[in-house]
């Protein structure tokens, strides 16, 4: 219980520091969203925020700001491994549901992602770098397979549209609840999850599956 309280305090302090830096650097709304989605907080990026960022990639100015911040995050290292991992998770999402220019720029700079296949960081006996290495491998493979990329985009965009239509009658509270459950059932959440009750996890996955695919 005491450890949980300390973790919450650390997250709150990190959020305050992030807000101060946002103000000091006069970051745009798009940049703030990317920084929040790729923070060091011990949980995965919210699908609600990622969807908002994906929509912003269709704006010329916002697209440039988003990609600049993402490349900066990908260039991080050491204890900031979550910056790198979450940036890869966000890139994967944007490649599938954002502007096609995201995938185009990633292909042009694929070497920057390829180098992350050798990312190293240990926290005690735990190899945190493996999360980054595996995600980088998945992303590079996707970017090198044009046919698969087209299919993944088509599938993701249809799912996004279907989800938006489904939650339109829920209101903001319902949407937040569903996206939170969706985030927690995503494989990309695995590095942030502790040991949870398997029965509870199965119920969450079944709920999300039934919601998206009635």
CATH of 29-212 among 1.25.40.90, 3.40.50.300, 1.10.630.10, 2.40.10.10: 1.25.40.90
Residue with tokens 């992303």: 139
CA distance 160 to 129: 30
**pLDDT for the residue numbered 212:** 38
pLDDT over 60 (residue 156): yes
Angle ∠(69,127,138) on CA atoms, nearest 5: 55
CA distance 4 to 104: 42
Question: Where in the chain are the domains?
Answer: 29-212
Q: What is the pTM of this model?
A: 0.73
Place 12 in a pLDDT band, splitting at 50, 70 and 90. low
Burial label, 176 (beta-carbon count in 10 A; 0-12, 13-18, 19+): middle
Provide the percentage of residues in the chain whose pLDDT is more than 70. 66
Reduced to 3 DSSP states, what percent helix, strand and coil does the chain have, rounded to the nearest 5? Answer: 80, 0, 20
CA 40 to each of CA 9, 75, 142, 162: distance values in angstroms, whole numbers, following the listed order:
13, 14, 26, 31
């Amino acid at each position: 219980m005491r450890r949980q309280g300390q973790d919450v305090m650390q997250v709150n302090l990190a959020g305050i520091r992030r807000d101060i830096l946002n103000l000091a650097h006069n970051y745009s709304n798009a940049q703030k969203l990317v920084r929040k989605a790729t923070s060091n907080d011990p949980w995965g990026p919210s699908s609600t925020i990622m969807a908002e960022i994906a929509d912003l990639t269709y704006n010329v100015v916002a697209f440039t700001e988003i990609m600049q911040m993402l490349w900066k995050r990908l260039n991080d290292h050491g204890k900031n491994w979550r910056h790198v991992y979450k940036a890869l998770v966000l890139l994967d999402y944007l490649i599938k549901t954002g502007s096609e220019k995201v995938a185009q720029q990633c292909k042009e700079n694929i070497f920057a992602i390829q180098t992350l296949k050798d990312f190293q960081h240990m926290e005690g006996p735990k190899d945190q770098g493996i999360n980054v290495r595996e995600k980088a491998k998945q992303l590079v493979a996707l970017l090198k397979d044009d046919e698969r990329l087209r299919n993944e985009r088509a599938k993701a965009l249809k799912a996004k549209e279907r989800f938006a239509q489904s939650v339109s009658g829920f209101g903001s509270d319902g949407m937040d609840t569903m996206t939170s459950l969706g985030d927690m059932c995503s494989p990309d959440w695995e590095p942030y999850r502790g040991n949870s009750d398997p029965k509870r996890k199965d119920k969450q996955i079944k709920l999300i599956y039934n919601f998206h695919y009635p």
